[in-house]
Amino acid sequence: MRILRNILLILASVATGATFLYSAWTKVLPIQPFEYTMVEYLHVPWVLATVAARLLVGLEAALGGLMVLHLFGPGKAVLKGAFGLLVVLSVYLVWLWATAGNEVNCGCFGDEIWMSPAASLAKNGVLLLVTGLLIRYHKGLSFRWGHTLAMVLLAVGTALPFLLYPITMGKPGWLKKDGYTLDMAPLYAPIKDDTAALRVPYPDMPATDMRKGKYIIAFVSPSCEHCRIAARKMALMKKDNPSLPFFMIVGGIASDLTDFWKQTRSQNLPWMRLHRDPFLYYTGGMFPLIVWVNDGRVEAKSTYNTLTQSEIEEWVARK
């Protein structure tokens, strides 16, 4: 009976640790959507979200790995840390359910597995029960320097995401001198009858005249994961500050955008669709292309990592 109990405890520890590891892994595919989840639902500053996302992923992975290895540290600190982390995440899930409803993805398994707050709470309840039993009954491995090794691995594992996914400072690539003129003829030229379907939803031209004034124009492909990350980030910024002058140009006219809108929730951005050839004319096949345009001239370029709301607001206010 004791042997069977020990086998069950070993399997429980491995399974729980593996769940932690899988949860951490799905959050870094890539890590930016997890950051955006924090910004959207916790309303934390962007910089804090980038730090917190990496810290949480590292802690989750380190705790999971140590549970798989049965290295629990002094006083079973690893198991108690896992239990505490589950409690904190469960409190967040309750708050998310109360404020955003149960029809949102809590982000517990990134975008790999869509999970509602209620489903994730049930999952956490099982993990809390199992972790509590492990704290009570499982001793783990015991050997000289075992506790020290566990604490060192915990620290290294927690810090690892900061090395693998370094935080990028949000500064656009300002172009030398006056930049260059963005040829907007493919966007505003009259459309012939046989090409009237090339632009959706604007059959003639964009509703916004971007030849005058300042605009952040993003060329995105609906099937490009990095483009979706860029669209999601811009949508969150636009939600926080509706005056931000974003405009999104979506390449291609044949693809269904249902999944694109579901993942990015970027319908709050003014947008248009553009046929494949003129879209490639602008991007050269490299997208997302995000340009800062002032009276038709490109002054800077950004990636989704270097697109910063405060920097945009300063640029818009600048004379």
Report helix, strand or coil for 265: coil
pTM assigned to the model: 0.85
* Phi then psi dihedrals of residue 19, to 5 deg: -65, -45
Q: Which amino acid is at 296?
A: G
* Domain spans, the chain: 2-164, 173-317
Characterise 27 by phi-psi region: left (phi > 0), alpha (psi -120 to 50), beta (else): alpha
Distance CA 254, CA 257 (A): 9
Instruction: Give the chain's length.
Output: 319
Q: What is the DSSP string of 266-296?
A: -TTS-EEEE-HHHHHHHHTT---EEEEEETT
The CATH code for residues 173-317 is: 3.40.30.10
Per-residue model confidence (pLDDT) at position 192? 53
pLDDT, tens digit only, all 319 positions of the chain: 788 888 999 999 999 999 999 999 999 988 998 999 899 988 899 999 999 999 999 999 999 999 999 999 999 999 999 999 999 999 999 999 999 899 888 889 988 888 999 999 999 999 999 999 999 999 988 888 989 999 999 999 999 999 999 988 778 888 987 788 998 887 876 555 444 444 444 444 577 788 899 999 999 999 999 999 999 999 999 999 999 999 999 988 878 899 999 899 999 999 988 888 888 889 998 999 999 999 999 999 999 999 999 999 999 998 7
CB proximity list for 313: less than 8 A, separation 6 or greater? 241, 244
3-state SS of 68-129 is HHCCCCHHHHHHHHHHHHHHHHHHHHHHHHHHHCCCCCCCCCCCCCCCCHHHHHHHHHHHHH
Name the nearest CA neighbour of 267 among 196, 188, 201: 201
CB 177: neighbour CB atoms within 10 A?
Answer: 5
Distance CA 240, CA 238 (A): 5
Distance CA 94, CA 60 (A): 20
Bridge-based pairing of strands 180-181 and 246-251 is: unpaired
* Structure tokens given for 49: 């979200």
